[in-house]
Structure 1
Amino acid sequence: MTPALDHLAILPIVLPLAVGALMLLFDERRRRLKMTLSLATVFALLAIAVTMVVMVGLPSSDRWSTLIVYPLGNWPPPFGIVLVVDRLAALMLLMTAVLGCTTLLFALARWHTAGPRFHTLFLLLLTGLNGAFLTGDLFNLFVFFEILLAASYGLVLHGSGTARVRAGLHYIPINLVASSLFLVGVAVIYGVTGTLNMADLSRIVPTLPPESRTLMEAGAAVLGIAFLVKAGMWPLSFWLPTTYAAACAPVAAMFAIMTKVGIYVILRLFLLCFGDEAGASEDFGAAWLYYGGMATLLFGGIGVLASQSMQRLGGYSVLISSGTLLAAIGTGNSAVISGALYYLVASTFAISAYFLLVELIERGQAAGADVLAVTLEIFGDPEEDIEDEDEEVGVAIPATIAVLGGGFVACTAVLAGLPPLSGFIGKFAMLSALLNEAGEIPFYHWLFVALLMLSGLATLIAMTRNGIRTLWVPAETDIPRVRAIEAIPVGVLLLLCAVMTFAGGPTMRYMEATAQILYWPSEYARDVLGSQPAGHSTSDSRSSGHGPSGPNPTGATP
């Protein structure tokens, strides 16, 4: 590997941060310049993310996985801040870059002019997301967490309106409380271990004495609550459906990955610090994640059935996705987690496409059309009882409605987990791994299976109902005017879901290798803590028994 390419690890942070700061020098009348700079930045981030996925994901004959370690200022870890790019981080960077490109394109049609400093806030959000996925240090994680939250506060209010202000009054205080909990948890962990480097923590946790271990686990629990708020686990998720429903379409679509920041950190820290090599702390919090995830699944399923608006339905779909992933992490089974990673990508793309699509579909509707449709469904429409002798047989469907309807059907199929699309493959992989565990299958696994299937059924019913109301029998709605720059992002996201279906084998193998490596915390720690200064890459060689033959079905450390 070319040493110079290792410097790509810092670019996903520095590039959007520098361009976003540069835009502050120009007033809002320089819109064309800002559009050009933003587009160039997000597509550069996409190219960098693809390069990183190739760098860490393509094995050679003697090297299965490459880990890029970038110590800032050439200070050696754990004393200095370090950036780490492995398969999971590269995957999250690629997802962020794809969503950044598609949502920005959509916003350029009209939304970027709905409020001040949209482009700066958008690039700062990308900076925080990329930094959170790349950092190998807990305090640095807090810094990037605050950057993305600060940008999200402005984006939630972008476009103004009473609904957005009301949602912001819930969203901002909740996240400020979560940030306070984050600091408390980090302080407790540092007081016990003397380090905040994630790799160093994975080495120290198994050696802690009992009195220190209790305090360490208390700090980890406080830290976990902060990220479960962001991940949307019930009962900490009451803010999410309202906020996502109120945000403008491109912002809500981008927020679909913000819940995955909490999922990512929980997955990373859980397997590093409380995995199979954690000694007495092994599987600490696993039961809370498992049962909390199932409770979130149940809450999200009820929510989608009760939703009267399409935006709130999207918010509850985010909760279903989060609940599925949290429960999968709680199983401690690497094969289940590999299926969950596949589902994470598919569901995130589908939810983002859904938020963009809803804005296009409802553009021609009058305010309150969703509530009126529910009322007519319950009490009926008296005009339907009047027989019209001149009633036209057959109605031509406008091309725009046909295209939007096709996209809506595709979103429904992926989110509900209908075969053969990627949502089904991800759920099938999780269920297959769960039910193929050695020994008798416990009752709580059957409960997870039932909730996963019922949540898919609830999504199918709710989205079909909303599709019929909105697309099949519209009540005097105008045909929405859709520009190509708005339709293309939706098509790209749904096309990626289809590509994941057709390339299911290679995609799943990447996820399996990613999950497998997560179960090797000692080797992760060895590579990070034994890293060379910037400009040198660390490659970990595997023995023949640890080759890419698939994950350990029991989740045990090789």
Structure 2
Amino acid sequence: MSFWLQHLPVLPIVLPLIVSALLLLLKDSRRRTRLALSYVSVLGQLAIALCLLYVSMGGFASQWPLHIAVYLLGDWLAPFGILLVADRLATIMLVLTAILGCAALPYASVRWERAGVHFLPLYQLLLMGLNGAFLTGDLFNLFVFFEILLAASYGLMLHGSGEQRVSAGLHYIATNLIASFLLLIAIAMIYGVTGTLNIAELAARAGALSGGNRQLFEAAAAILGVAFLIKAAAWPLNFWLPSTYASACAPVAALFAIMTKVGIYSLLRMGSLLIPTGAPAAFGGEWMYAVGLATLLFGTIGIVATQQAERLIGYCVIMSSGTLLAALGMPGVTLTGPALFYLINSVLAIGAFYLLIEMVERPRRFGADVLAVSLEAFDLEDPSMSDRSDDVVGVAIPAAMAFLGMSFVCCALLVIGLPPLSGFVAKFTILSAAVQSSTTDAPSLAAWSLVACVLISGLAGILALSRVGIRLFWGEEIVTPRLHPSEAAPVGILLLLCLGLTFWAEPVMEFLDDTAQLLDNPQAYIEAVSSAPAVRQIGEATP
């Protein structure tokens, strides 16, 4: 057994940690070296994530016969030690995080990483926190990695300074501190009742609880669920998101597209392990379905009401969270595969959208959208249009406006869910599975309610994005922005990945349906954790 294969599960955490430390030691004057290290890190994380995905598909079966890579830190056996678990769901999220990291870094290297201090180290720490949150098999270390990614996101949120960033950042920090406090309280209560924080061991012990201990566990699980819902931007706990994401610089906002999905992932992970083993159903079911519909409707109202393009995308993030919560709250696992397909599509599309909007609106004064509506209503001229300038270093690439316009159309189609792109495939499979998921011959009221809310949100998205697109590309005065190839390429790559999802929708959907079936049968996960051997020395495993 080779060294790199043995330690593969821990590398997505160790690599960005080491690179962030090295970046702090290098002076800002050594910019090329710092960027080179950053690129090596994000590309390495992508390669490692793909290797772990290969493991989850049956690769390296001699080392991990259950197709789940388990790494015991400090050689402490479960459930006493800290462990990392890379199953199918975790590796999908790792690959998605690495793709966003690889796309946002070139965009940031053109301008944004020089707009403030320590951008590149914070960027690596954010990736480290995300990777750790997806890989950890321990509740307390989930809290630790949450705090790492949140601490890095606080700095990145404020990167570039400005009154609006500081104001939105304070709301963001205060809300997440409350969520972290609730998460810590819930973890303490769960440990007090069950005596363990190992997620796999918790699945076995929680199902055997009774009486007062079961009631206390249910209370702790409810608090834990609220903390996850705050991080997933569920209504009514998502008031902070539109302003926060709109205020962040474009590459940071693009990477933030996956941060709300950490809450979704946590709910899905805990629910998939606890519910089938007889534990209290505190991470799924009717309550999550109801919260999802409320979140979806809130996002629908917000997307129609807002005029600023960046805030509009924030409401698209909320709508995606609502759709996922409602779909995962439906009974059974029929909707889990389509929901994962929708998650992948929405993260890629929204990440590309944030990068694109910054390029489109670069020549425009901040707040011009809201002002344009008022001036149009009162038939006035906009005096600020004469002093717009392009102060960003770049080149006038050929057909820049054509590229931006077509990219905007693609992003809009992906977010709304219109044919022929993968957004339509994602929403269609969710609605089809919802209608077919009823146990009776006729679809249930919950299924039809989900169908109605998704269609209404799609109609609202068409109206809102069409309005913004007309204003941005068909206005009386259009200033062609100066773009750098390193800014245009990431948007194109993310959209090409969505196009690939469209062409290969059937095999991808089959893969995700298999993932859903694995989640519905958590015994393999529990067995892989409980039987993981301690490694006494490099290249030698204890039988």
In which range does the TM-score fall when normalised by the shorter chain? over 0.9
Counterpart for residue 53 of structure 1: 53
Does the 8 Å contact 2:61/2:67 carry over to 1? no
Does the 8 Å contact 1:271/1:518 carry over to 2? yes
1:421 deviates by 1.1
Counterpart for residue 430 of structure 2: 430
Counterpart for residue 449 of structure 2: 447
Does the 8 Å contact 2:222/2:282 carry over to 1? no
Work out the CA distance in 2 between the residues paired with 1:342 and 1:421. Answer: 13
Tell me the secondary structure at the aligned position of residue 84 of structure 1. strand
| Cα shift readout 1:8-60 (whole Å, capped 9, x = no counterpart) | 10000000001101111122222221111101110111111111111212479
Counterpart for residue 467 of structure 1: 469
Q: Which amino acid is the alignment partner of residue 344 of structure 2?
A: V
Work out the CA distance in 2 between the residues paired with 1:11 and 1:332. Answer: 36
Does the 8 Å contact 1:256/1:351 carry over to 2? yes
Counterpart for residue 177 of structure 1: 178
Tell me the secondary structure at the aligned position of residue 363 of structure 1. coil
CA spacing shift, 1:305–1:536, aligned 2, 3 Å: farther
Identity of aligned residues (%): 53
Counterpart for residue 310 of structure 1: 309
1:202 deviates by 0.7
Counterpart for residue 387 of structure 2: none
- TM-score in terms of structure 1 length: 0.90
Work out the CA distance in 2 between the residues paired with 1:207 and 1:243. Answer: 42
Counterpart for residue 372 of structure 1: 371
1:70 deviates by 0.7
Do residues 290 (structure 1) and 292 (structure 2) align? Answer: no
Moved more, 502-511 or 194-203: 502-511
Counterpart for residue 552 of structure 1: none
Work out the CA distance in 2 between the residues paired with 1:368 and 1:3. Answer: 54
Counterpart for residue 95 of structure 1: 96
Do residues 400 (structure 1) and 400 (structure 2) align? Answer: yes
Does the 8 Å contact 2:66/2:528 carry over to 1? no
Tell me the secondary structure at the aligned position of residue 71 of structure 2. strand
1:221 deviates by 0.9
Query: Within 5 Å, which residues of 2 pair with 1:153-552?
Result: 153-273=154-274, 275-278=275-278, 281-282=280-281, 285-380=284-379, 399-437=399-437, 438-439=439-440, 440-473=442-475, 475-534=476-535
Work out the CA distance in 2 between the residues paired with 1:536 and 1:526. Answer: 21
CA spacing shift, 1:270–1:61, aligned 2, 3 Å: closer
Q: Which amino acid is the alignment partner of residue 445 of structure 1?
A: A
Does the 8 Å contact 1:69/1:537 carry over to 2? no
Tell me the secondary structure at the aligned position of residue 201 of structure 2. helix
| Cα shift readout 1:179-212 (whole Å, capped 9, x = no counterpart) | 1111000000000000000000111111111211
Counterpart for residue 391 of structure 1: none
1:266 deviates by 0.6
Work out the CA distance in 2 between the residues paired with 1:329 and 1:84. Answer: 22
Work out the CA distance in 2 between the residues paired with 1:460 and 1:136. Answer: 41
Q: Which amino acid is the alignment partner of residue 404 of structure 1?
A: L
Q: Which amino acid is the alignment partner of residue 124 of structure 1?
A: L
Work out the CA distance in 2 between the residues paired with 1:74 and 1:367. Answer: 54
Does the 8 Å contact 1:6/1:68 carry over to 2? no
| Cα shift readout 1:397-442 (whole Å, capped 9, x = no counterpart) | x821111000000000000001121111111111111111231322
Query: Within 5 Å, which residues of 2 pair with 1:64-83?
Result: 66-83=67-84
Moved more, 519-528 or 111-120: 519-528
Does the 8 Å contact 2:296/2:453 carry over to 1? yes
Counterpart for residue 34 of structure 1: 34
Does the 8 Å contact 1:305/1:458 carry over to 2? yes
| Cα shift readout 1:101-130 (whole Å, capped 9, x = no counterpart) | 100010011000000000000000000000
CA spacing shift, 1:471–1:423, aligned 2, 3 Å: same
1:276 deviates by 2.9
Work out the CA distance in 2 between the residues paired with 1:514 and 1:282. Answer: 21
Report which structure shows greater RCO (CA 8 Å, sep ≥6).
1
Computed over aligned residues only, the root mean square deviation of the Cα atoms, in angstroms, reads 2.1
| Cα shift readout 1:322-368 (whole Å, capped 9, x = no counterpart) | 01111111113312010000000000000000000000000121333
1:526 deviates by 1.7
Does the 8 Å contact 1:425/1:501 carry over to 2? yes
- TM-score in terms of structure 2 length: 0.92
Q: Which amino acid is the alignment partner of residue 166 of structure 2?
A: V
Do residues 14 (structure 1) and 18 (structure 2) align? Answer: no
1:382 deviates by 7.6
Work out the CA distance in 1 between the residues paired with 2:135 and 2:212. Answer: 32
Tell me the number of residue pairs that the alignment of Structure 1 and Structure 2 aligns. 522
Work out the CA distance in 2 between the residues paired with 1:266 and 1:134. Answer: 14
Counterpart for residue 86 of structure 2: 85
